[in-house]
Amino acid sequence: MPDAVLVLDLYAEEPVLGEHRLLREAAVSFGRPMVYPADHSELDPVLARRPDLHSRQFWVLHFPFDLEPPKPNRRYEAATITITFDDDGVIALDIMPMQPDEEADIRGIGRNVIAWDLHPADAEAGLRPRSRVMQVVLDAPADATDFHGALGATLTVARIRGAWARKLAASQTPRRFLLTVDGNFTTEPSR
């Protein structure tokens, strides 16, 4: 993704000269996210009965990302992408699944931590390095004008031929971000 707004380098622990060192194994790049008000007609009708409806705003968040192509002789068996919102009042109401040729275990409805665990429908093929979009409906305070949070990622990397079978590559620290409701996205220093 050449115009990535954020790249998470993923590292795996490897033995090097008798010591364990972190070596870069892969990366996940994120495109510019979009956020826009949810149309109330698209939401679950049960929400209309909420007594706090006047103090809430509902947003649709689209967060595009790409997996870097795997190194030669490797494939990705699984990926987990995580978004954590700093404000406990910002929670996921609904999380949309991924593409039909992938299986996704989705976690985080009703919470401020959202995760997509992706697995290929065909384990031998692995996850393809292509564009995907995480989509989530957020429930936020009515006066929210921005969303502070962090992105994290892990990949299970399998060797097609060779000595080791699989290893986990992970971002070392989640990358902090600020997304405003008018669409501005910036990264922030880690805390």
Structural domain boundaries in the chain: 6-39+52-188
pTM as predicted: 0.87
Quickly name the fold that domain 6-39+52-188 has. Immunoglobulin-like (2.60.40)
Cα–Cα distance for residue pair 123/118, rounded to 1 Å:
11
Which tokens is 74 given? 């490797």
Cα–Cα distance for residue pair 180/31, rounded to 1 Å:
15
Q: Is residue 110 helix, strand or coil?
A: coil
Q: Which residues make Cβ contacts (< 8 Å) with residue 19, sequence separation at least 6?
A: none
- For the chain (length 191 residues), average pLDDT per consecutive 10? 82 84 92 89 80 88 92 91 94 76 83 91 82 90 94 91 80 93 86 63
